[in-house]
């Protein structure tokens, strides 16, 4: 689970980005966007209103909702995004991390379960992401229902 999460979310993302870099740099207005997660911010772990931050009961083994491999891999991806920002700074590439909010997709327990837990329509997040890519987000903004974008120019 840990290696698979890092392979897809961090290493795979890095390899894909490297592979297409020659094409991206041909663009007159190059933009690079990474889809991150609100569960992956280090500061956000202090927000005890989020179910993912709740303390499990004493004892071992632990039970209950817990996604440490996913969260850690996305935190790794956030640093990778900062590294791409540094690496491409002189090339004029705009780099974003966008957290789309909680969505009813196949992620985790699945679409129906996520919707019951309050997840929203992925199409709404699509609009938010489109706005960010098209430059409607300045140097960082909060979108609908917890979605957030950090732009690093
Ligand atoms: N849903 C949320 O609440 C939420 C919140 C924050 C961030 N995100 C992020 O949004 C992104 C999209 O996730 P989602 O919510 O749409 O989840 P999803 O419904 O599970 O979709 C994940 C997609 O990734 C593809 N995929 C998985 N492993 C792959 C691999 N090894 N190689 C190529 N493709 C692979 C899947 O392809 P197949 O369909 O072919 O398996 C699927 O299309 C993810 O980066 C996720 O972390 C989601």
Binding site membership of 106 for ligand 1 (Cβ less than 6 Å): yes
Q: Is the CB of 37 under 6 A from ligand 1?
A: yes
* Helices and strands, counts by H and E, the chain: 5, 4
Indicate the pLDDT class of residue 143, thresholds 50, 70 and 90: low
Shortest-distance Cα residue to atom 13 of ligand 1: 107
Phi and psi, residue 149, nearest 5°: -130, 140
Confidence of residue 153 (pLDDT cuts 50, 70, 90): very low
Selecting among 37, 40, 73, 99, the annotated active-site residue is 37
Would you place residue 94 in the very low, low, confident or very high pLDDT band (cuts 50, 70, 90)?
confident
Percent of the chain with pLDDT over 70: 90
Query: Rounded to two decimals, what is the model's pTM?
Result: 0.90
Transcribe 47-115 into DSSP letters.
Answer: -TTSGGGPPPPSSSS--SS--HHHHHHHHHHHHHHHHHHHHHGGGT-EEEEEE--SB-SSSTT-HHHHH
User: How many Å lie between the centroid of ligand 1 and the Cα of residue 130?
Assistant: 17
Tens digits of per-residue pLDDT, 43-85? 889 999 888 999 999 999 998 889 999 999 999 999 999 999 9
Distance CA 73, CA 121 (A): 24
* Residue whose CA is at the smallest distance from ligand 1 atom 31: 8
Kindly name the residue from 5, 40, 73, 74 that is annotated as catalytic: 74
Look at residue 127 and tell me whether its pLDDT is greater than 90.
no
CA of 35 to the centre of ligand 1 (A): 10
Tell me whether residue 70 is one of the annotated catalytic residues: yes
- Collapsed DSSP state (helix, strand, coil) of residue 153: coil
Please give the domain boundaries of the chain with CATH numbers for all domains. 2-152 (3.40.50.720)
**Average pLDDT over all residues of the chain:** 88
Q: Is 70 in the pocket of ligand 1 (CB under 6 A)?
A: no
């Amino acid at each position: 689970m840990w290696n698979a999460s890092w392979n897809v979310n961090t290493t795979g993302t890095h390899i894909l980005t490297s592979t297409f870099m020659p094409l991206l740099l041909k663009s007159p207005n190059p933009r690079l966007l990474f889809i991150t997660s609100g569960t992956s911010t280090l500061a956000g772990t202090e927000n005890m209103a989020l179910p993912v931050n709740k303390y499990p009961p004493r004892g071992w083994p632990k039970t209950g909702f817990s996604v440490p491999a996913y969260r850690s891999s996305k935190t790794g991806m956030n640093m990778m995004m900062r590294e791409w920002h540094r690496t491409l700074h002189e090339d004029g590439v705009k780099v974003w991390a966008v957290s789309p909010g909680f969505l009813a997709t196949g992620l985790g327990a699945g679409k129906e379960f996520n919707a019951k837990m309050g997840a929203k329509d992925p199409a709404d997040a699509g609009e938010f992401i489109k706005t960010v890519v098209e430059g409607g987000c300045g140097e960082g903004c909060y979108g609908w229902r917890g979605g957030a974008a950090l732009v690093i120019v």
